[in-house]
Amino acid sequence: MKSPFSRKQVHRKIFIFLEMAIVFLMPLYGKLLPPLIILLAANWLIEGSYIKTFPLMFRERKRTMIISFALLYLLYLIGLSYTSNLHVGGLDVQTKLSLFIFPLIFATSDPLSIKKEESAVILLSFVAGCFASTLLLFGHAAFSAAVNHYSGTFYHKQLSWFQTPCYIAMYLTFGIAVLSFRLIEERHNLSRFRQAVSMILITVFFICIFLLVSKAGYISMFLVVLFYTFILIKIKHNWPGGIATLLLSSLFFCFLLWLFPFPGQRLDQAREDIKNGGVLPGDTSKSTADRMMIWKVSAGIIREHPLIGVGTGDAQEALREKYQSADMTKALKKNFNAHNQYLQTSIAIGLPGLIALLYILMVPVIPAFRRKDYIYLLFLLIFAVNILFESMLERQGGVVFYALFNVLLYASDGTDDPGNPFNILPGKSRP
């Protein structure tokens, strides 16, 4: 019996399924991401569309734009030519390989564009992964509290026991952005039940971000609230809805501060550290003060090597030398990176690297703004804010999050299949 699907359609379904699996596992178990990415690349190789689409990368503007997102990775490869620690540099470019793989696969895909129902089901898979992650976090915290009789398991690093808190907070913030989009733009397609589920998930994610005590998470979460408040008031002319969104979010945050004292204490300490401009070098447990000292040290390295940096494999060693000379014992002991991707990239590959990083974050804003792609705009905003406080392209969790969603959202064309059951999921119809 003849298969109802062509060979090309089968590969396309495998492509979408693997992306769903990657984004679902991203907030849950990052160790499974490399084999899934390898399978995605293998599917691309076997499918073979790149044979005819490769020349189109330099003739079709959209393909050219997608492959240009790999520019930063190419600069890191060039940085290997003048690094003194080739082994560390090799591991670094291996960690960042997704910055090249995803643009290459998407730029040579046929068809190039991602349909609305395809991007929708991938985004929904990510939201499902975020929810599963919160269940895992709260379940582990409750079990630990019951066994150890210690409520601190519900906060910060003890809550996020398998992943750095800021990464989970970033994932959940993007999950809130996706769900909020559904409630604003797709409300007419959602049943009351689906609307209620979306609201419950937003609330759960909000609470989890609060308990993770990620200051970058707090900032990006409220930027999402402000963004959608603006959309409701300015674009949708829904003043009551916009004011209610801002007011209820602020009141809920204040309520959580009253209910859970620890995050409030951390915020007070952060304000004090900022007021004092950091602390004296040495062993300190104040994360904001640590960052401020590390940023000062990083800026000093950049001033010494402004043009091409120290090399792809030498950034951490340059930081360690500065930590030692500045008597920053905690930073030296824990081998801290720059805790800022803009600084980290500038240290490693200099001004060209910083320009390339700004390019891949800022240039997509223009097409996203033109087609009113709110999810893409918020994704870029959330990532740009979070890498102010963490060097997220130094870890797989940050690299894959950016590399995959950036090309996925850029390639989405918003076209819809009326008969597809996923057409009520998050997405944005674009002209």
Per-residue model confidence (pLDDT) at position 290: 81
Is residue 109 left, alpha or beta, with left meaning phi > 0 and alpha meaning psi from -120 to 50? Answer: beta
User: What is residue 190's three-state secondary structure?
Assistant: coil
pTM of the model: 0.91
Angle at the Cα of 316 (from 278 to 73), degrees rounded to 5?
A: 115
d(CA 327, CA 3): 68
The alpha-carbon radius of gyration of the chain (Å, integer) is 22
Per-residue model confidence (pLDDT) at position 20: 97
Distance of CA 400 to CAs 75, 80, 119, 277, 393, Å? 18, 21, 16, 34, 9
Buried b (16+ CB within 10 A) or exposed e, 53-78: beebbeeeebbebbbbbbbbbebbee
User: What is residue 27's three-state secondary structure?
Assistant: coil
High-pLDDT (> 70) share of the chain, % = 89
User: What is residue 96's three-state secondary structure?
Assistant: coil
Tell me the average pLDDT across 122-135.
96
Per-residue model confidence (pLDDT) at position 276: 65
Tell me the average pLDDT across 270-295.
65
Note the pLDDT tens digit of each residue in 3-37: 556 888 899 999 999 999 999 999 998 889 999 99
Tell me the average pLDDT across 231-249.
90
Cα torsion 225, 230, 235, 241 to 10°: value is: 60
Per-residue model confidence (pLDDT) at position 3: 55
d(CA 306, CA 346): 8
Average model confidence (pLDDT) across the chain: 88
pLDDT band at 160 (very low <50, low <70, confident <90, very high): confident
Tell me the average pLDDT across 134-154.
87
**Sign of CA pseudo-dihedral 322, 324, 329, 334:** positive
**Sign of CA pseudo-dihedral 200, 205, 208, 209:** negative
Note the pLDDT tens digit of each residue in 385-400: 999 999 999 999 999 9
d(CA 78, CA 69): 16
Residue 406 CA, chain-centre distance (Å), reads: 9
User: What are the start-end ranges of the H helices in 215-364?
Assistant: 215-230, 239-259, 261-276, 287-304, 315-325, 329-334, 341-362
Burial (CB count <10 Å: 0-12, 13-18, 19+), residue 49: middle
Burial (CB count <10 Å: 0-12, 13-18, 19+), residue 102: buried
Bridge partner list, 114: 412
Burial (CB count <10 Å: 0-12, 13-18, 19+), residue 181: buried
Per-residue model confidence (pLDDT) at position 417: 42
d(CA 267, CA 288): 9
